[in-house]
Structure 1
Amino acid sequence: MKTTAIILAAGSGSRMQSNVKKQYMEINGRPLLLYAIDAFEKSFIDDIILVLPADDINYVTENIIEPENYKKIKAIVPGGTTRYHSVRLGIEAAASDTEVVFIHDGARPFVDNKMLSRAYEAVKEYGACVIGMPVKDTIKISDEDGFAQITPDRDKTWLIQTPQVFLYPEILELYEELAEKEQELLDNNINITDDAMVMETLGKRKVKLVEGSYDNIKITTPEDISMAESILQRKFKKI
């Protein structure tokens, strides 16, 4: 089955509190974004679509992407105003013969081939899956005033990561439907926060949860940079 990865790197990274957008901040001397691209470039994935801020495309292409001589990047497209707008633009840029699409946050540098393989096997069986890990801590759901209201069963609670993986024709159709129903969903207080939720809200499939890794962190705040460097040091020691 032909596979395409959509790597999202169009965010502003405002929580990083830096003049440099987080996708270009360096971890061990390399821009954060390159770690995710490397993982897909070296995997069984056929094509890569990269989604970037429109104003950054030329700079990133000339100074970050081209020096690496990547072979699988088939398109670099400008992102939209929200994450799911960016995802839709990335999906629409995929080749029409794509059968499976992997949607991944470029701020998660430690995705690896084992995770991708587990997700690929799951999507062939179930049609939709997401990478994640069971939570380690007790989770509380608060009420509107900030008081604990519900304590979900920890054994059934997962920390959701990326990639999130779907049969391409299905997720393309659902994102096109989402574009049409966006305001209606917002009026009903339904805010789409990840790709699995698109399937859960508009699709007809259950989304299978697939084991990722506790190392598969998302770089969001300055503290995450230090954590990422520690993970890299540990991985290099194993090698």
Structure 2
Amino acid sequence: MKRKLGAVVVAAGKGSRMGTEESKQYLRLGNKPIIIHTLETFERMAEIDEIALVVGADDVERCRQWISEYGIRKVTSVVAGGNERQHSVYKGLAQLDVEYVLIHDGVRPFVRMDHARACFDEAVRSGAAVLAVPVKDTIKQVNESGVIQTTPDRRSLWAIQTPQAFRHSVVLAAHEQARKDGFIGTDDSMLVERLGIPVTVVEGDYTNIKITTPEDLDFAALLLKKRGEER
């Protein structure tokens, strides 16, 4: 019998916007690497049975060592990723034998467990769901010359986050179809949408930030301190 829920945590990117030699997911936040903070959140989720971690080929061994050092038991595989995030996710999906899967960015260490759980619950109900937050700012569509073309209604715009939750067979089929078509999407829900499958938005939290720049890292340190004070 398949396990109910697994997670693919993707941390194979290098990232240049952080301006550091070390990849952003391995930078220290508090007293441990960012990727460990992320994994610990999913480790604590009782619903999750197994985790596939996807990292750069040169980082597999040290991540295995950290997983052992920090006592993360649910990681059942650490695999090298591909050239694109999409390829890395596919490699992670191939490691799991579960009914449902959460796909999450390794550099989003502040996702709340109740929000990840709500995303999973919605995927069970409807087949596919993503965490997202309403856009706060006015958004303009601009042409190549920098001239505003349209102003979309902000009430219909959401900023998409992770985790994204799917029936495993559905998202795997979506990835396989994208590979067949040579299509690269910006997130996993985009691949599922291509199959004509509706994806439901579950409201998340603005603190579920993706750490990509030095400013993000500074904000993350403040969030970590606040969480410590609230415990």
What is aligned with 1:188? Answer: none
Write the deviation string for residues 190-220 of structure 1: whole angstroms up to 9, x where unpaired.
x51000110112x221110001110000000
Q: Is the aligned partner of 1:51 residue 2:54?
A: yes
Distance in 1 between the 2:125 and 2:151 partners?
Answer: 32
Aligned residue in 1 for 2:213? 221
Q: Describe the superposition over 1:80-130 as per-residue Cα deviations: whole angstroms up to 9, x where unpaired.
A: 0001010111111112xx110100000001012111111111111110010
> Which residue in 1 is equivalent to 2:42?
40
- Deviation (angstroms), 1:237: 2.0
Instruction: State the AA in 2 paired with 1:50.
Output: L
Residue identity opposite 2:208 in structure 1: N
Summarize the alignment of residues 136-151 of structure 1 with structure 2, pairs less than 5 Å apart.
136-151=136-151
Letter in 1 for 2:48: I
TM normalised by structure 2 equals: 0.96
SS at match of 1:101: strand
Kindly report which structure 2 residues correspond to 1:84-233, keeping only aligned pairs within 5 A, or say none: 84-95=86-97, 98-182=98-182, 185=183, 191-201=184-194, 203-233=195-225
SS in 1 for 2:79: strand
Q: Per-residue deviation at 1:132?
A: 0.8
**Aligned partner of 2:157: which letter?**
T
- Gapped runs of 5+ residues in structure 1? 186-190
Within 5 A, what are the aligned runs for 1:59-98?
Answer: 59-62=62-65, 64-95=66-97, 98=98
Unaligned runs of 5+ in 2: none
**Residue 108 of structure 2 contacts residue 209 of structure 2 at CA under 8 Å; is this kept in 1?**
yes
What CA distance in whole angstroms lies between the structure 2 residues aligned with 1:91 and 1:174? 11
Moved over 3 A (4+): none
Amino acid at match of 1:133: V
Name the SS for the 1:104 alignment partner.
Answer: strand
Q: What's the counterpart of residue 238 of structure 1?
A: 230
Paired amino acid for 2:54: V
For 2:85 and 2:63, the matched residues in 1 are separated by 20
**Cα deviations by residue, 1:47-71 (Å, 9 ceiling, x for unpaired):** 1000010111112212x21101211
TM-score, normalised relative to structure 1: 0.93
Deviation at 1:75, TM superposition (A): 0.6
Mapped partners of 1:181, 1:205: distance in 2: 17
Identity of aligned residues (%): 39
Deviations 1:157-184 (A, max 9, x none): 11110001100011111111111111xx
User: How many Å separate the matches in 2 of 1:147 and 1:200?
Assistant: 30
Indicate conservation of the 8 Å contact 2:63/2:78, yes or no.
no
